[in-house]
Structure 1
């Protein structure tokens, strides 16, 4: 049975990924910082309370994965935080660093400790969650956009380094995803721009060719595909799941 590890897998997009892998018959292991959400996840999954920006904690997670599972076939480095919403001159360095620590360093650490396992078994898939902000930029969200651009470079490099060992690495760039996290973003952007939450929402939706937000399951199904044999020669790719962003700056 194939084995999938998903960071930030207890809620949102990560939970949708875990459910999608589970439906396809994979063994599932989720890591998350939210203890309550972990507790609510199915008991048939392996669960670990982990801060992805803490190298000691991440190393311990992968040590346990190796001990219990003997390796991992799919890593979904999905953990991320929104970071501050402000013009660049108002962003505090510590807020910048906190955002980069989770979004970029968290993906780096997960890949660092998954890579030796996958190289040893001569195969595996690493899927990193970026964002359309990592393709176009994102006004008022400089730390987030910078980190999400950076994970694309990280993942393309992983694809080059690990390809000779049969390991693939790809990036998914979700657009605006329905859910609690995006609601927080909408509220903060509305305040920063002097707009209503509904106007900001409409701006995001109208900025896509399909005129819609996406759902976690849309991202999850792509993660499962990229980790499957159907994508055996898909590597180093940046795939947007966003309804096709035609206007990355959501003004109304």
Structure 2
């Protein structure tokens, strides 16, 4: 059976990925820092409590999981919503640690077995914030831009061993994390939550948010043989972002 491991796989995009890979016939492994959420994933999945930014924990889980066919480096947090001069260094470091260092550690400890087996795919979760600058989201945007550079380097290093790497850039995704961003951004801009949401939707050519399942479907495609010659690519699943500075 083919095997996938998804970091931050107990909720949101990661959970949707787990269900999509499960439906595609994969043995699903998920890690998360939320023990209560892990208790709720399907009993057929392998669920492990693991902080994606803690190297020893990541190394242990990767060793236990063994050779993966697909690795989804998905762990991330929204980080602070504030002007750059008002961002605390501790908040910057926490955001970069989870979003960028978490992706690095997943790749560092998941790739050796893939390369030895001569097959596999790494799917990094970046963001449209990794394609455009976003006001009031400096730590998050910086980390997600860096994830794309990491992915392209992994693709170049691992391609000769039969391992591919790509990045998905979600836009505004329905769910609790985006809801928190809307509330915080509304407060920072002196706007209503509805105005900020409308601004995000208006900034896409499809005038809508996306669902976690949309991201999950792309991850399954990138992990499949249908994408066997797709590597080093950045693919936005966002309804086509036209305006990276959400306004009304």
Question: Which bin holds the TM-score, normalised by the shorter protein?
Answer: over 0.9
User: For 1:108-123, what aligned pairs fall within 5 Å after superposition?
Assistant: 108-123=104-119
Which consecutive segments of 4 or more residues in structure 1 shift more than 3 A? none
The separation in 1 between residues aligned to 2:110 and 2:64, in whole angstroms, is 12
Partner secondary structure for residue 170 of structure 1:
strand
Task: Give the Cα–Cα distance (whole angstroms) in 1 for the partners of residues 176 and 84 of structure 2.
Answer: 25
Q: Determine whether 1:25 maps to 2:30.
A: no
The answer to whether residue 130 in structure 2 is matched with residue 129 in structure 1 is: no
What does residue 5 of structure 2 align with? 5
Q: SS of 2:29's equivalent?
A: strand
Q: Which consecutive residues of structure 1, in runs of 5 or more, have no partner in the other structure?
A: none
- Report the counterpart of residue 168 of structure 2 in structure 1: 172
CA distance in 2, matches of 1:109, 1:155: 12
CA deviation map 1:178-216 (0-9, x unaligned) = 001100000000000000000000000000000000000
Shift of 1:137: 1.1
1:145 aligns with 2:154: no
Instruction: Tell me the CA shift for residue 54 of structure 1.
Output: 0.4
Whole-angstrom CA distance in 2 between matches of 1:142 and 1:181: 17
Spell out the pairing of 1:77-88 with structure 2 (5 A cutoff).
77-88=73-84
Q: CA deviation at 1:133?
A: 0.3
Relative to the length of structure 1, the TM-score reads 0.98
- Aligned with residue 103 of structure 1, among 99, 103, 108: 99
Which residue is 1:220 aligned to? 216
Q: How many correspondences in the alignment? A: 248
Distance in 1 (CA, whole Å) between partners of 2:81 and 2:206 is 26
SS at match of 2:39: helix
Map residues 69-80 of structure 1 onto 2, 5 A cutoff. 71-80=67-76
> How many Å apart are 1:63 and its aligned residue?
1.5
